[in-house]
Each structure stands twice: as structure tokens, then as C-alpha cells.
Amino acid sequence: MEIQQKKKEKIKSIDKALDLLEFLSRNGHEIGIAEISEKLNMGLSTVHRILNTLKSRGYVIQNQRTAKYRLGIKLFELGCEVQSTKSLIKIIRPYLRKLSKMINETANLAILEDKNVVYLDTIESSETLRTGIVRGSRTIAHCTALEVDRP
């Protein structure tokens, strides 16, 4: 019942736009409309309209020479705004450093979001074996060794 309710509350066009942004994020290089359409199983005209809207707002950039798209700086700006409002990282970072140094291991700060863990900060140990976890990365919670503190 809850899943059906959540589906009804979604706006399909916004969902498609977010799928497109997430695809561009994972892709890592410029990509054309036809390939986006094929990979996301969306119509060419839908992809074109979404990209035009996102481009007009600075969320994607179109290479004028190749006509291909990539993420725009507006997403970076939004990410910085989120980070600047989260002073938690600034407060906890000295403690992460101290913990990492004390146990000579990598220390991570992460939050549980649905069934995923999102890494907010990480302090790598000086040991040869490192985790390579990147801030902002997301991992399925059961695939981590993080302890979750639930309220």
C-alpha cells in the first residue's frame, strides 16, 4: 500500500529529469541526446525538452562544437549550499582526525538515507591499505561496516 501511495505522489517529468541528471553524473563525459534517449529508454523529444530546460537553468551545459551535454556548474553551486548549511562536517572533522590517528585506521562520517549510506567526510589512515571512499559517494548500507545510530 505504501509503495502505491509513493508512486501516486511522484511527478513523472521531475522524476525523468532527475534520472537524466543522475545518468549524466554517472557517465563522466559529454553525451548526446540519442545515446541518453537509448540508455534511459526515454523518447528523443522528451530528452530534448528536459535538456533544454536544464540548460536554460544552468544544470547542464551543451558543447556547441559537438552538441553533447554534461553537468553544469549550477549543481556544484547547489552542492556547496548544502555543504555550507551543514556545519556538522566542520564540527566533527577534528574528532574524525583524532579518531583516525588514535586507531591508525580510516575514519568516516556518513548518514543513513533510506537503505543507503552517504559519506559526508572521510579521514584516510596513513597505512598502505586505504578505503578510497570519496565524499558524497553512496553505498548500500548492508555493504558497509559502519555502525548506524538510530534515534
Q: Sketch the domain layout of the chain as residue ranges.
A: 2-78, 86-143
DSSP 129: S
Quick one: pLDDT at residue 1? 42
Residue 6 phi, psi dihedral angles, 5° rounding: -65, -40
* pLDDT above 60 for 83: yes
pTM assigned to the model:
0.59
Can you tell me the distance from the alpha carbon of 108 to that of 95, in angstroms, rounded to the nearest whole number? 11
Judging by DSSP bridges, how do beta strands 60-62 and 69-71 pair with one another?
A: antiparallel
Can you tell me the distance from the alpha carbon of 29 to that of 7, in angstroms, rounded to the nearest whole number? 31
Task: Name residue 55's amino acid.
Answer: K
Quick one: pLDDT at residue 130? 66
Most confident among 65-69, 85-89, 116-120, 136-140 (mean pLDDT): 65-69
- Is the CATH code 1.10.10.10 the one for domain 2-78? yes
Rg (CA), the chain: 19
